[in-house]
Amino acid sequence: MYLSFYQLDDQPFRLTPDPRFLHLSQPHQEALQTLLEGILYRRGLVMITGPIGTGKTTLMDAALQILTDLSKNNAKVRTALIFNPTLTREEFLEALVDEFEVPCASTSKPGRLSALQRMILDTHRQGGTAALIIDEAHLLSPELLEEIRLLGNADTHQEKILQIVLSGQPELTTILNRRELSALKQRIACRAELRPLTEAETRVYITERLHTAGLKGSLPFASTAVSSIFHYSQGVPRLINLLCEGCLVLGFKTQRKVTQPDMVQSVADSLNMIVPGTERTTVPSAPVEMPIAQKSAVDLIIDAMKMKRVARVTPE
């Protein structure tokens, strides 16, 4: 509807978790690095948490894309993604068999477990890695969390041979603090937490998504409008997307090519956005860059992703 008006090739603020639009702010970069290191270095169990709308699913999809690309380069990474974990134990095992594409004629629990175990061991013997990623993990029942703990017991004397990623809202931490889940909690080798963006990160986020969508000219958002977007969204990426999308639609309808604060307020009112308390979590300082010789393979993958994004947003 508004693409030609703003000279865009694609919708920049759609809510689908497209890895092309992954914004590598500090917390997202650290979370992606933690996730990839946990899988590729066979740490066992990784946990990623973050409030609603901070980009967990997009992060999972980006990680899957990276792992898929590595598999094409003979890295032998087998992955399974469970995005709706409200399942029974039987349904969970059936989903694992399907997602890992494991041949299994049996419909019994022992038969499916045996097929999964053979796949995990065969992948390991061939020098590969099997990774299970569970999104919305805060919705897992205690029974499934115990099933996951038992699956995570698959290992050799040297390392874990099934890598498991639990990604969910902050209440996942509270759930795992339950006494009956202490055995699973003790197996968490790596953790990372996403947070809302700062105002400066919000500006970069909006700019980056627009350029990824093909913007060649000046930004269709005034600086004061971006401040207003940050005010109403509190830096939550999903809310930023809703506001920006609404502003572009409104700009097209009113033939205003540059969004101003009054337009942001109008969209926020239509979305019934109520700004919570103004207190915000202190943002940690940026990590110190390591010399290139000390960087791991995961560091180099993330650096390459960042360079691609810089190239997109830097004027020629």
Look up residue 163 and give its DSSP letter.
E
What pLDDT shows up at residue 17?
83
**Which residue in the block uniquely carries the two structure tokens 């066979």?**
42
| Spatial CB neighbours of 74, under 8 Å, sequence gap ≥ 6 | none
What pLDDT shows up at residue 251?
96
**Distance (Å, rounded) from C-alpha 4 to C-alpha 2?**
6
Give the DSSP per-residue string, 92-110.
Answer: HHHHHHHHTT------SHH
Domains of the chain: 3-17+197-270 (1.10.8.60), 26-193 (3.40.50.300)
What pLDDT shows up at residue 68?
87
Residue 133 structure tokens: 């990623």
What pLDDT shows up at residue 57?
92
φ, ψ of residue 186 in degrees (nearest 5) = -65, -15
What pLDDT shows up at residue 71?
79
Cβ atoms 220, 250 nearer than 8 A: no
What pLDDT shows up at residue 302?
63
| Spatial CB neighbours of 43, under 8 Å, sequence gap ≥ 6 | 37, 160, 163, 189, 190
Q: What is the pLDDT along the chain (316 residues), one digit of tens a residue?
A: 799 999 999 999 998 888 888 888 889 999 999 999 999 999 989 999 999 999 999 999 999 999 988 877 777 889 999 999 999 999 999 999 999 999 988 889 999 999 999 999 999 998 899 999 999 999 999 999 999 999 988 775 567 899 999 999 999 999 999 999 999 999 999 999 999 999 999 999 999 999 999 999 899 999 999 999 999 999 999 999 999 999 999 999 999 999 999 999 999 999 999 876 544 444 443 443 444 444 555 666 666 665 555 555 554 4
Cβ atoms 163, 120 nearer than 8 A: no
Cβ atoms 208, 309 nearer than 8 A: yes
Look up residue 257 and give its DSSP letter.
S
What pLDDT shows up at residue 278?
41
Residue 78 bridge partners (DSSP): 130
Rg (CA), the chain: 22
